[in-house]
């Protein structure tokens, strides 16, 4: 059980609680009935996304074990408990299965899905692994996270179910990206001091911690407003209204909570304190979206 627990830790299971929501948002937006979701292709897509995210989390913990030993000690301990060679083996196995699923989609004619999934794996690798290690390259750091986690899976999930992309979906995706960028910037600000000690220069070091949190507040607010505006069109009865209300409350809570960091006297302390709420931000904003979209096609 110790190794299983260690694997769950380096797979960031608390944050991955939102993986199911991310898998479903694109497909739910694309279909008109629940029965349309019952396909082997969606099952394979879900497996592809889950394994890609697991790989990205594992490789991040693998290359961040020294900096994690200063602050996120449970992650560093988990890597050591599993053993360096075993973690490498797990990442190789994950990659083999990921590319096996990519080839499946390629040969089934989902060429764009295969391309997006390949890019997702590449982003996961270059974000953490040297020599590129984008996470330590200032303003470039958020790019692979936001594209690989918040854009590509949403588009790919939609394309698995429906190859035509509407303008409204594009606007929704833009808002979704901005909302999650703001949440992710809180995590970047939270690690400001530890990253600096290890000479990992993130967007927070380029902008400064105050401006980073201010940007988080602005992008979360703008993205939340866009998401709320585009999904309001899905409200058509009591159930969808309840789903929308849950999403509205969750998004407003997230915006207010992140903005309170910016308004606090000690921004660094506020980022550390609220950084622990990242899983809550992700869960509380994404699952009401899934609930609303689910009720909309009942």
pLDDT in tens, the chain (298 residues): 488 899 999 998 888 888 889 999 999 999 999 999 999 999 999 999 999 999 999 999 999 998 888 878 889 899 999 999 999 999 999 999 999 999 999 999 999 999 999 999 999 999 999 999 988 888 888 888 888 888 899 999 999 999 999 999 999 999 999 999 999 898 888 887 887 787 778 888 888 889 999 999 999 999 999 999 999 999 999 999 999 999 999 999 999 999 998 888 788 888 888 888 888 999 999 999 999 999 999 8
Residue 55: what pLDDT?
Answer: 96
End residue of a domain, out of 140, 164, 188: 164
Q: Do 173 and 154 share a structural domain?
A: no
Q: Model-level pTM?
A: 0.89
Specify the residue for token string 């694997």.
7
26 shares its domain with 146: yes
- 158 and 24, same domain (yes or no): yes
Residues sharing a CB contact under 8 Å with residue 212, sequence separation 6 or more, in sequence order: 185, 188, 189, 192, 203, 204
The CA distance from 25 to 42, in Å, is 12
Instruction: List the CATH number of the domain containing 42.
Output: 1.10.357
> Does residue 224 sit in the same domain as residue 157?
no
Spatial neighbors of 291 by CB under 8 A, at least 6 apart, are: 243, 246, 247
Q: Which residues contact 31 (CB under 8 A, 6 or more apart)?
A: 37, 161, 162, 297
Whether omega for the bond prior to residue 131 falls within 30 degrees of 0, making it cis, is yes
Residue range(s) defining the domain that contains residue 150: 1-164
Residues 295 and 198 in one domain: yes
Residues 6+ apart with CB under 8 A from 214: 262
Considering the domain architecture, whether residues 58 and 142 belong to the same structural domain is answered as yes
Q: Please indicate, yes or no, whether residues 214 and 256 belong to a single structural domain of this protein.
A: yes
How long is the chain? 298
The tally of domains found in the chain comes to: 2
Do 134 and 184 lie in one domain? The reply is no
Give yes or no: residues 175 and 289 share one domain: yes
Element (H, E) at 138: strand 137-138
pLDDT of residue 111: 96
- Which residue reads 């190794």 in tokens? 3
Where among 147, 164, 181 does a domain terminate?
164
Question: Which of 125, 142, 164 marks a domain boundary?
Answer: 164
Does residue 297 sit in the same domain as residue 176?
yes
Q: How far apart are CA 6 and CA 58, in angstroms?
A: 11
């Amino acid at each position: 059980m110790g190794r299983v627990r260690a694997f769950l830790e380096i797979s960031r299971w608390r944050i991955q609680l939102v993986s199911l929501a991310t898998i479903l948002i694109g497909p739910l937006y694309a279909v008109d009935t629940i029965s349309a979701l019952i396909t082997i292709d969606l099952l394979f897509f879900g497996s592809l996304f889950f394994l890609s995210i697991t790989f990205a989390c594992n490789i991040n913990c693998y290359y961040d074990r020294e900096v994690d030993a200063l602050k996120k000690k449970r992650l560093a301990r988990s890597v050591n408990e599993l053993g360096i060679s075993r973690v490498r083996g797990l990442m190789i196995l994950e990659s083999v299965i990921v590319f096996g699923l990519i080839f499946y989609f390629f040969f089934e004619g989902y060429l764009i899905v295969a391309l997006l999934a390949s890019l997702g794996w590449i982003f996961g690798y270059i974000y953490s692994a040297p020599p590129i290690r984008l996470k330590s390259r200032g303003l470039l750091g958020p790019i692979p996270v936001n594209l690989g986690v918040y854009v590509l899976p949403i588009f790919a999930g939609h394309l698995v179910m429906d190859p035509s992309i509407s303008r409204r979906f594009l606007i929704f995706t833009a808002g979704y990206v901005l909302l999650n960028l703001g949440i992710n910037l809180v995590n970047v600000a939270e690690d400001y001091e530890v990253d600096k000690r290890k000479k990992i220069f993130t967007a927070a070091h380029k902008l400064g911690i105050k401006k980073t949190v201010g940007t988080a507040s602005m992008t979360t607010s703008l993205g939340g407003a866009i998401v709320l505006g585009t999904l309001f069109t899905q409200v058509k009865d009591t159930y969808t209204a309840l789903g929308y209300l849950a999403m509205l409350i969750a998004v407003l809570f997230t915006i207010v909570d992140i903005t309170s960091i910016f308004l606090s006297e000690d921004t660094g302390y506020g980022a550390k304190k609220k950084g622990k709420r990242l899983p809550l931000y992700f869960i509380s904003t994404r699952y009401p979206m899934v609930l609303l979209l689910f009720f909309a096609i009942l």
